[in-house]
Amino acid sequence: MKLLKAFWQRLISPSKAAVGIVLFMGFAGGLLFWGAFNTGMEATNTEEFCSGCHAPIVAEIQETIHYSNRSGVRAICSDCHVPHEWSDKIVRKVQASKELFFHFMGTIDTEEKFKARRGHLAEREWARLKNNDSLECRNCHEFEFMDFSEQGPRSAKQHSTALASGEKTCVDCHKGIAHKLPDMHGVEGW
């Protein structure tokens, strides 16, 4: 009884050591949580992860310039679809968890269903990129460093006018650069 009381006393009157231990455990727990959280974030950014549900898209992209080019620099799914900014990333992950729901609903799990819904999905992606001024494209393609003299005349003309003035953003003019353009028949506004 006495022992228990002494023990209790120690518990309710925290010594410096106890405070230290609690602080340390909090810190270690925080670190562990942070580590696991970030590992989870990284794992969900790999192409393998996306290909689990988007196999047709992964196959298709191998014929485009963002998969194979003279410079050997690749853009993977998450470069274009997951913002680099940490806070934006979390927002996108939360939005993306809805994909899990649609996955179980089976909205794009056959070729026919995917074809039918593709225009709608593309439109959502264009709207997202329009909204953030093609942020993900600009992570790699910086307007300030575009050398117009190295670009074709068509490119230089458009980039030095509509792009430079901010009137248009990358996805306004560059649709279907990484994927086949969907059939837009029946999609609202087309």
Interacting residues toward ligand HEC by CB under 6 A: 44-45, 47, 49-50, 52-54, 57-58, 61, 65-66, 69-71, 73, 75, 77-81, 99-100, 102-103, 107-108, 117-118, 121-122, 124-126, 129, 134, 136-141, 143, 151-152, 154-155, 158-159, 162-163, 168-179, 182
Query: In the chain, what is the straight-line distance between the N-terminal and C-terminal CA atoms, in Å?
Result: 81
Q: How far is CA 17 from the centre of its chain?
A: 44
Give, in degrees to the nearest 5, the angle at Cα 139 between 136 and 145: 130
Q: How far is CA 39 from CA 33, 34, 45, 172, 185, in A?
A: 10, 9, 10, 34, 41
Cα torsion angle, 89, 61, 67, 136, sign: negative
Residue 33 CB, nearest approach to ligand HEC (Å):
22
Residue 88 vs 175, nearer CB to ligand HEC: 175
Residue 17 vs 63, nearer CB to ligand HEC: 63
Residue 36 CB, nearest approach to ligand HEC (Å):
18
Residue 88 vs 139, nearer CB to ligand HEC: 139
Residue 1 vs 188, nearer CB to ligand HEC: 188
| Cβ atoms of 157 and 165 closer than 8 Å | no
Residue 34 CB, nearest approach to ligand HEC (Å):
21
Q: Distance between CA 167 and CA 171 in Å, rounded?
A: 12
Structure tokens at 33: 């949580």
Residue 25 CB, nearest approach to ligand HEC (Å):
34
Q: Distance between CA 123 and CA 184 in Å, rounded?
A: 9
Residue 25 vs 181, nearer CB to ligand HEC: 181
